Amino acid sequence: MLMDFHCIEALLNLPEFRVTAQVLGPKQLDLHLERRATCIVCPRCQTVCSRIKESRPRCIRDLPMLERPVVLWLHLRRFECAECHHRPWEKSETVGEHVKWTARLYTHVRQEYLRGCPCRALARRYGLSERTVFRWTFERSRGGRPRKLGRALGIDEYSRRKGHCSNTLIVDLDRGKPIATFKGRRAEDVIAWFQGRPQAELDRVEVVVLDMSKTYASAIKALFGEQGQVIDRFHVVQRAVGTLDEVVRSVQKRLDAEEAKALKKLRKRWLKSANQLEVDELIARYEWRRRFPELREVIDWVQNLRMWFERKYAKPARDALLKLIERASQSAQEPLKRMAGTLTRWFEPIVRYIRRRYNNGITEGFNNKIKLIQRMAYGLRNEDNRRKRILAWCGKT
């Protein structure tokens, strides 16, 4: 369905040009434009030139219409001066001499990409190549607008280089998109970044999910108080599985090489339910549990801790966690005693998970994606480029 020329001119908002033709193709909309002025002034003798000698088209990309990418064909004319016979080309005041796209298309694509729209979808929507979208964002852009804080935030660290200093990543858990990344992971760095935000945004924050980091915990306590801290199940279960691994390694040291290898193969099957295992795997796990009571004790405790996170009500969950801590502290296994001390120190933030139900899994996923970004780039020395890449690539989800 074709549109009226006056309607197209109103949408384009290019007063210098008038529409002469339109071609609606299956993949794009071609609009042929011509300058409204029918003459120009000769730059040599200042005589008005009205005789047209030739013309040439210029291809310029613009924002889509009718759900199709738009290509503007500017037919620029060459005039011949009647006095000095000079042949000047007409020039546009709206469009630059060597530009291949409009400024509004460039700005729009860059902002959408920095907000997290996938590169491939933008390229298909606006009739561009993926490389062009990537180049506009990372080589020309200075970054999009700062993203506002949400109700629930996730905070984690990632390393700029392996074994070197770390950066901090802040994620909006409700939207599933990164908000900011900045240099440093000390409490002063985190407090300084949050204090640079408007007070209205800080008042909106209700929950901050973090790992068991004393640095981040002290910063969040100073900013939002103790009630805003939540330790998610991901890090608690990770610590508990680490405790199980310690006990398994201690058992392996008492076995010969073949039995130790067989025990190591069952690592991913210790915490699985019976219906997820084959018969031979189930029998092997039963035999190992029968032979080593300390292994059976730790496996049962870790399974009970994982089931604890499925509880719905805070008060029974608090009592059940206290019982788990008491069991671990009375055990003869040193790894279990250390785990009991960890749960005791972080008891209140862990219990708040039952009511809040937020976890830092998406933040850890972004952490892995950041490592991939840095490997693909063979390292990033420019902190501004690192920030823009992270906000663009991690915002695709």
What is the reported pLDDT for 344?
Answer: 94
What is the reported pLDDT for 168?
Answer: 92
List the chain domain ranges.
5-96, 101-145, 152-231+359-396, 233-356
Residues 172-193, mean pLDDT to the nearest whole number: 89
Distance between CA atoms of residues 210 and 171, nearest Å: 11
What is the reported pLDDT for 138?
Answer: 66
User: Is a pLDDT exceeding 50 seen at residue 219?
Assistant: yes
Give percent above pLDDT 90 in the chain.
20
Rounded to two decimals, the pTM is 0.60
What is the reported pLDDT for 350?
Answer: 93
Residues 262-288, mean pLDDT to the nearest whole number: 78
pLDDT tens-digit profile of 293-309?
Answer: 888 898 889 889 989 99
What is the reported pLDDT for 395?
Answer: 67
CATH topology of domain 152-231+359-396: Nucleotidyltransferase; domain 5 (3.30.420)
pLDDT tens-digit profile of 121-143?
Answer: 888 888 888 888 877 776 544 44
Mean pLDDT across the chain: 85
What is the reported pLDDT for 273?
Answer: 73
User: Is a pLDDT exceeding 80 seen at residue 36?
Assistant: yes
User: Is a pLDDT exceeding 60 seen at residue 396?
Assistant: no
What is the reported pLDDT for 351?
Answer: 93
pLDDT tens-digit profile of 245-257?
Answer: 898 888 888 888 8
pLDDT tens-digit profile of 58-100?
Answer: 888 888 888 888 888 888 888 888 888 888 888 887 787 778 8
Residues 313-342, mean pLDDT to the nearest whole number: 92
What is the reported pLDDT for 68?
Answer: 85
226 or 327, greater pLDDT: 327
